[in-house]
């Protein structure tokens, strides 16, 4: 019974959050824009094994909407920002160096939700697809009862 509940609840949570991220990514194409400043932009290296370095992007920017200041950190609606490809991650620190002025896209109903690159990225669907796998596993466990 426990594996069924674990798979079912994990699947539901992943599907809900995955759908939310997909919807936000699609909607972000029409979000209003404002100017902001990059306040932090660097990579950090950590190891997921003895020969497997991974790179995490640490990016922060400030922006103002309707007289209120905000701090953002998202480049895109992408769930995972640590990868093994250092060159790929360096493209973001080069594109968004500390101190640079950037265009920021923010959710009109929630200005604290902001990104630098609007639109849909295939990786946004990973969380949703992972949820479907867990729901399928829960269904298979239910059939075995």
pLDDT in tens, 21-54: 889 889 999 999 999 999 999 998 887 777 788 8
Most distant CA pair in the chain, distance: 59
Q: From the CB of residue 106, how many other CB atoms can be counted at a distance below 10 Å?
A: 22
Q: Please give the helix or strand (H or E) that residue 69 lies within, else none.
A: strand 68-72
- CA of 111: how far to CAs of 12, 86, 88, in Å? 27, 31, 29
23 vs 25: CA distance, rounded Å? 5
DSSP tag of 31: -
Instruction: Say which residue the tokens 């295939």 belong to.
Output: 122
Q: Is the entire prediction scored with pTM above 0.85?
A: no
* pLDDT 10s digits, 52-77: 888 888 999 999 999 999 999 999 88
């Amino acid at each position: 019974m426990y594996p069924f509940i674990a798979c079912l609840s994990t699947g539901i949570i992943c599907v809900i959050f995955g759908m939310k991220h997909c919807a936000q990514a699609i909607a972000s194409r029409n979000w209003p824009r404002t100017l902001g400043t990059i306040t932090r932009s660097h990579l950090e290296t950590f190891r997921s094994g003895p020969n497997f370095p991974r790179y995490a992007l640490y990016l922060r920017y400030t922006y103002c909407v309707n007289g209120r200041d905000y701090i953002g950190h998202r480049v895109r609606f992408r769930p995972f920002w640590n990868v093994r490809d250092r060159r790929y991650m360096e493209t973001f620190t080069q594109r968004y160096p500390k101190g640079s002025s950037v265009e920021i896209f923010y959710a009109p109903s929630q200005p604290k939700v902001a990104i630098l690159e609007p639109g849909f990225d295939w990786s946004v669907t990973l969380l949703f697809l992972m949820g479907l796998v867990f729901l399928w596993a829960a269904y298979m466990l239910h059939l075995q009862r």
